[in-house]
Amino acid sequence: MKWHERYAERLDKELLEKLDRFYSEEPANESKTFPVIIQLHENTSIKKLKDLAELLPHEEETANIVSMNYIGAKLTPNKIEKLLLHPAVSRIHTDAVVKAKLDIATPAIGALAVRNQYGLTGAGVTVAVVDSGIAPHEDLVTPVNRIVGFRDFVSNRTTPYDDNGHGTYVAGCIAGNGALSGGVYTAPAPQARLVGVKVLDVNGQAPISRVIAGIDYVIQNRSAFNIRILNLSLGFPPSQSYTIDPLAQAAERAMQANIFVVCAAGNTGPGGRITSPGHHPRVVTVGAVDDRRTVTRADDVRLLLTSTGPTIDGLLKPDFFVPGNLVGPKAAGSVYARQYTNFPNYLYLSSTSGAAALVSGCAAQVFQAYPTYTSFQLKALMLQVIIEFGANYGYFTQTELFKLLNS
């Protein structure tokens, strides 16, 4: 029996498969490294990878999230084996690639009615967007710059930007005020503040460890920016239960820190696996419907791209559906700006990314009106008002939620 087979319970499925292929090669390249996430036991004193083992010149620490007991690294199989013998190491996961979940909505979901009736615009509430960055689009910075924070884990730049374009689109679906459209393309929370956390690169991809670092940044800075909501319109197909999946566990930590976590279900179609971290039962996972560009729900159909599970743990997800055909801001000069040229300043896209953003905007309205609500209270309230939408699934509207809140 090979060493990695002996430790199968402490290695995720994807890493096991990679090691199987590695040892089937003849001759094996002993200098080859694998991107991994080292999970440490709770209450460990370990702070750096060098505290666990001496590194070879081609091995490196790629991420350090000590507050969550994770260290990202590129290691040889021999070093992985040695680390599993270390008493501080609990598990080792592959550092897989996370991707952006992108493949009439504000009135349809009821956010416009709530804004008109109660004057709720998300003012005073901050939403963190862990994504590809946020560009200073006019809908987000006019007449006041509402991008109040920015952290770049890709290039360490300090000025907000978005070379991919996905993050700006998502931010606009949450909090765009329609400045360049005469108010036509206005999101649910047009006065909410934004914190951009860039983890996805120009291609809309990132290793899991970088996304976890972004989530940790949000948790550590929640008080400084009054962050109440974390939008995660990204994910990857999980190979293990949410109980041990590092990204799902990081998302749960944010919920425990009283940050309302909204995740895209994924765009792999009916029966497709719900992506991580959306497969965690505690976060809010959103699917997308086609609203046919009408306010009425009577003609709505589920967007075929939406992943509907069940999850790898056999759980029913997404939690509910909202419109996913959305118009949002275009980041000038970005990849998406070059790909989608039908509008000069906006993108019209179908995705669970936009659907999740819509829910984040609705959450900002709620927290403006009820700032003492916890994240778990809000999720419970949302689940109370979903309207049946096909077998086993529900449709969420902000109108129904505020009827409940004011009953």
Last residue of a domain, one of 95, 113, 141: 95
Range of the domain at 121: 99-405
How would you write the pLDDT of the chain (407 residues) with one tens digit per residue? 688 888 889 999 999 999 888 888 767 677 899 999 999 998 888 889 999 999 999 999 999 998 999 999 999 999 999 999 999 999 999 999 998 855 444 566 788 889 889 999 999 999 999 999 999 999 999 999 999 999 999 999 999 999 999 999 999 999 999 999 999 999 999 999 999 999 999 999 999 999 999 999 999 999 999 999 999 999 998 989 999 999 999 999 999 999 999 999 887 766 668 899 999 999 999 988 865 554 555 545 555 567 777 898 999 899 998 988 889 999 999 999 999 888 889 998 878 899 999 999 999 999 999 999 999 999 999 999 998 876 667 889 899 999 999 98
Residues 235 and 358 occupy one common structural domain: yes
Number of domain units in the chain: 2
What pLDDT, on the 0 to 100 scale, is given for residue 298? 52
The CA distance from 53 to 304, in Å, is 48
Length reported for the chain: 407
Residues 21 and 115 occupy one common structural domain: no
Residues 125 and 150 occupy one common structural domain: yes
* Residues forming beta bridges with residue 91, ordered by sequence position: 39
* CATH code at position 112: 3.40.50.200
Last residue of a domain, one of 74, 95, 116: 95
What pLDDT, on the 0 to 100 scale, is given for residue 104? 46
Residues 44 and 114 occupy one common structural domain: no
Residues 9 and 128 occupy one common structural domain: no
The CA distance from 374 to 376, in Å, is 5
Residues 174 and 224 occupy one common structural domain: yes
4, 93, 137, 166: the active-site residue: 166
What pLDDT, on the 0 to 100 scale, is given for residue 106? 55
User: What Rg, from alpha-carbon coordinates, does the chain have?
Assistant: 21
Whether 353 is catalytic is yes
The CA distance from 4 to 379, in Å, is 40
Residues 87 and 223 occupy one common structural domain: no
What pLDDT, on the 0 to 100 scale, is given for residue 103? 45
Residues 182 and 306 occupy one common structural domain: yes
Residues 185 and 156 occupy one common structural domain: yes
The CA distance from 309 to 352, in Å, is 14
The CA distance from 299 to 75, in Å, is 53
Q: Where are the beta strands (DSSP E) in 158-265?
A: 193-198, 205-207, 227-232, 234-235, 260-264
Whether 131 is catalytic is yes
What pLDDT, on the 0 to 100 scale, is given for residue 247? 97
Residues 61 and 149 occupy one common structural domain: no
Last residue of a domain, one of 66, 95, 124: 95
Residue whose C-alpha is closest to residue 189's, from 130, 111, 134, 116: 111
Residues 122 and 206 occupy one common structural domain: yes
What pLDDT, on the 0 to 100 scale, is given for residue 291? 56
Residues 67 and 104 occupy one common structural domain: no
H-assigned helices in 321-392: 335-339, 352-369, 375-384
Q: Which amino acid is at 18?
A: K
131, 162, 163, 319: the active-site residue: 131
The two tokens of residue 41 are 């036991």
276, 350, 353, 375: the active-site residue: 353
- Please check whether residue 141 is in contact with residue 148, taking contact to mean a CB–CB distance below 8 angstroms: no
